[in-house]
Structure 1
């Protein structure tokens, strides 16, 4: 599983320029351009176009390399109840609250859908 923080913004281009200036590379970009990934040596930062109320928010997400049903089973066995997986434009995702009540997203990407 890969750590994938998601940074929400209303100006994808400006944020992309900033993080590329820090040294991140341009990775996969959605066809509409509202989602892109900036890989670095230690992980990936995702940038997601969003509404003004979410600008500046950062969400902890993970990219799964196994079926989300398997992830959900492990979470339930450990006492955490995830929301059911949902279809997304990029594949599937599920959300679950950590012990502090913070929502965490786990994504299973179907890369041909958006790259």
Structure 2
């Protein structure tokens, strides 16, 4: 079993581009373009077109395996402005808004903090 949050969006193409910048890859998609799967190492994100009140619904967090500064640099280069990384009890986190204005949290865990 794997986690597959469904992200409703009014612009599937922009949302797909945003998550590609974060490191997800494009998987299966519906022919009309209203649904796309984006596999990742620890699960999958499904993006579903919605023109109603569901657009923008979903809160996401991802564990990253690289310095948050590297992720922030890629995001800025693609036109997305993340908040500065925050020192957390588990490592570091950073938030960025996707094209619909929904916050996405990126976590870099320091496993030594748990031992």
Q: What is the TM-score normalised by the length of structure 2?
A: 0.49
Question: TM-score, normalized by length of structure 1?
Answer: 0.49
